[in-house]
Structure 1
């Protein structure tokens, strides 16, 4: 049984950065990598400016700190007279970090870079970091606690809104053949020329296969939008089709359910541009329409004292009120809502407006009634600016209420067209059939409820 190998560091015999000019070139490329990651960081700061979620701005920090550390070490070793300096340069982690960044530039909707996730054992599936609700990123419950560092593994790129995990390895064909030959000796394989035709090879003890197997297991222990992330093993220095045995090992990993991406399938290195940055980390506001339909729950949140003041938990409060107050302490809703509403046109149905009026008249405080009046009442004697100023005076989050907020919210009448033909004509046949099954299950006797365990 072989021990694990860190494939994120190039082997000594593979290094090309040993002479003076190559050392300088390596430092230039490292500085270029630093500059691109900093450009990505600035892009994150721009697209998340004023947004209610702050932490996505920091999705690059782990990778960035690794790059800075390697550059510092490289600069020290280039100017060092220590005989071991050349060895340390040849063992630099920078080729691996370049590979991670190149993979990131070919990824879309990135959630995290070089992010640690819990590696098990799993009593149940853990919520993975990613987009749970449209364009809203959740950090999930996967990041290990301080005392669990030994039970974690870093995922190099979490992308596609959390649905794809990429782990990068800079192992070469040469190193992989060495590991496979070494493992064959440990497994007692015969070298007397006997044929192995018809015998299924087991690569389970090869270190790279162990990495793939671990990646698959950990991904299955997580969930995002009720799916396990798809594990991808990126091998930019492995060429498929050159060695039969390597191809067999790669297919062995694929049969486990891990996507393998070799240099043959790796897209060319991309130049960092604004268009590419917006693919890597799109604006969280990109899908918000110019006009927003505000439902009753949002109206209540915008009017509630809990959302606009520091409420103390009272003994007579129900559990839902207590939970709401605790949630508000950690994640205030008013700044979140206002950052999304911005200067967009706001409308609500008459039913939603009536629901708010009934609630505040029945159980609302004076301040809650005042907020509801500011939000909804079409009083021409009150200007939009005066409404905003009043709302600010009634809130501890006054600095988070934008001056461009479009008040009052316009109440519209909405009468749904109950004629089935009017909307059925706009649906494809498969979608229409699925809707029919959901809305009228009795018409489809073959659709039986699933039994427990099925």
Structure 2
């Protein structure tokens, strides 16, 4: 966590002197308030998302909370020291001018004013007021490309290397935009930045600035003006921060793209000091957006309305959860292409029937799925939110394979749900409301009114063939097709050709597709593959025999 204690102490020196008792009380209240809001946010994550085995990773905020909690402990210790001084002064009498007590209180006040709480508050406030789809706080990214593996916007934790070089990394304060945006908060002020520029002899005339900015823009992200393998001790900290974030961003892909890099500097003001403006323009020339002069609550000043608020009274209604919480479906297309793995999940008894008693005849994978389903039902917590209100399609190959499995090992209810889902057999020709009514008879869960039935079965090869003739696919398509089976070829290439989202639980194939695209990207920073959303778990059909592979 970035520590800005020197800047905070310097900024606070101009404020009216107050007692250590008052200041410690004010900061403790503020810290408890901040901690309460963070806990409310964490609880909201746990209650809204089903990935129970990865909830702590869905929005990574362990380090942020840990730093705030640590700050609270420090403030409480300082409050105890302050109270000890008050007691000691009381014993000596109010009229006793004790230089030692004054000096000790001065040290406590200085420590309080140097608290990193101001920086932590700035990060949290900016996240609340400026960031949507927050997925991480205080996260380190590396610019060795093998160290940032991402699938469908989520870090591939199975691919972590054993060692990481922190010298080749950037520390990001807020990851938002569902992973596509990185933000760093800098609390450096005008005087501190100017002092650092003078100290390091940092000078740049307008001609040099123009040449460097032009060179950076024209390289299309292939190079940076400073060699990443060399440490430049004379470089400004703010510029080093921007360069490191850009390097790490260029080594990271979220849905095939490099994250956008942002810096917010609340205490800098543009348009007043030409030297500072040049620094800001240099940072922007690297492709970083930087915003200055942001209003954030000053924790060192009195705010009677705020300070009378009880941290224990904070509720979800006090936070902008509708924007802050990640939304995995934000960029879903109106039409959704459903893979065979999730077609089976949509008709399985495991998905629709509650309180299934495990049987000795069940495969161990089925028993595990029953346990997971009892805790967090797949339909209501993940699949319904993903598909409701969208037209569902599947390829002929996916539908054929699904029906082969259902009519071989499926139960009678699983077969009937298949007919309802596809509008076939006894369900052929029935309208949406009738099909929904039939599905409700076979489900213990509430079936949404806006679920669109029946699903449309499409001719994938016709669409893929047309896309091939029109050169809609990038050249990497030849490499991707080499790794796909016939059914996966039809599913994933149809979604790609149609430019619609494909939903699947087949993580292995998705990783192979994304890895193939990255391995063959070259210098094409705009190359993108199929839009795929991964459902972390699926559901098998309950009719599987114990020794049959799941």
Shorter-chain TM band: 0.5 to 0.7
- Deviation of 1:62 (Å): 2.5
User: SS of 2:267's equivalent?
Assistant: coil
- 1:278 aligns with one of 309, 322, 329: 322
Cα distance in 2 for partners of 1:51, 1:345 equals 26
What stretches of structure 1 of length at least 5 have no aligned partner? 190-194, 314-324, 389-401, 418-434
Picking from 119, 122, 131, the partner of 2:145 is 122
Question: Which residue of structure 1 lines up, in the alignment, with residue 264 of structure 2?
Answer: 234
The 1-side partners of 2:208 and 2:384 are apart by: 66
Cross-structure match for 1:24: 25
Match of 2:179 in 1: 162
**Structure 1's 220 and 353: CA in aligned 2 closer, same or farther, altered over 3 A?**
closer
How far 1:139 moved relative to its partner?
Answer: 3.6
Number of residue pairs matched by the alignment: 380
- Aligned with 1:138 (options 119, 130, 154): 154
The Cα shift of 1:291 comes to 12
SS at match of 2:81: coil
Q: Secondary structure at the match of 2:145?
A: coil
Q: 1:15 — aligned with what?
A: 12
Look up the match of 1:359: 405
The 8 Å contact of residues 135 and 176 in structure 2, kept in 1 or not, is answered as yes
Cα distance in 1 between the residues matched to 2:332 and 2:253: 26
Shifted more, 230-239 versus 300-309: the winner is 300-309
Superposed displacement of residue 296, structure 1? 4.3
CA distance in structure 2 between the partners assigned to 1:173 and 1:217 by the alignment: 26
Task: Give the corresponding residue for 1:112.
Answer: 135
Structure 2 portions without partners, runs of 5+: 86-103, 213-231, 298-305, 307-315, 352-357, 421-425, 428-437, 478-519, 525-550
Q: Which residue number in structure 2 is paired with residue 218 of structure 1?
A: 248
> Aligned equivalents of 2:34 and 2:113: distance in 1?
18
The 1:306–1:32 alpha-carbon spacing in structure 2 relative to 1, beyond 3 Å, is: closer
Q: CA deviation at 1:450?
A: 9.2
Deviation, 1:374, is 5.2
Find the residue that maps to 1:80 and give its secondary structure.
helix
Cα distance in structure 1, aligned partners of 2:418 and 2:259: 44
Note if 1:177 corresponds to 2:200. Answer: no
CA distance, structure 1, for counterparts of residue 31 and residue 4 of structure 2: 16
Quick one: distance in 1 between partners of 2:208 and 2:329? Answer: 56
Q: Which residue of 1 aligns with 2:44?
A: 43
Aligned partner of residue 79 in structure 1, secondary structure: helix
Is 1:246 aligned with 2:242? no
Structure 1 residue 85, shift from structure 2 partner: 3.2
What's the CA shift string for 1:380-439, capped at 9, x where partnerless?
Answer: 9xx978855xxxxxxxxxxxxx54368xx997485989xxxxxxxxxxxxxxxxx99947
How far does residue 31 in structure 1 lie from its aligned partner after superposition?
2.6
Per-residue Cα deviation, 1:215-244 (whole angstroms, up to 9, x for no partner): 111111111011111111111111222211
Q: Is the 8 A contact 2:128 2:320 kept in 1?
A: yes
Distance in 2 separating the partners of 1:206 and 1:410: 56
For the aligned residue pairs, the C-alpha RMSD in angstroms reads: 5.3
Paired position in structure 1 for 2:124: 101
Q: Alpha carbons of 1:247 and 1:144: their partners in 2 closer, same or farther (altered >3 Å)?
A: farther
Q: Which has the higher contact order (CA 8 A, sep 6+)?
A: 2
* C-alpha distance in structure 2 between counterparts of 1:143 and 1:66, whole Å: 28
The answer to whether the Cα contact below 8 Å between 1:47 and 1:283 also exists between their aligned partners in 2 is no
Separation of aligned partners in 1, 2:390 and 2:290? 48
Return the offset for 1:98. 0.9
Alignment CA distance shift 1:120-1:53 (3 Å): closer
- Is contact 1:108-1:281 (8 Å) kept? no
Contact 1:376 1:411 in 2 (8 A): no
Whether the aligned pair in 2 keeps the contact of 1:52 and 1:335 (CA below 8 Å) is no
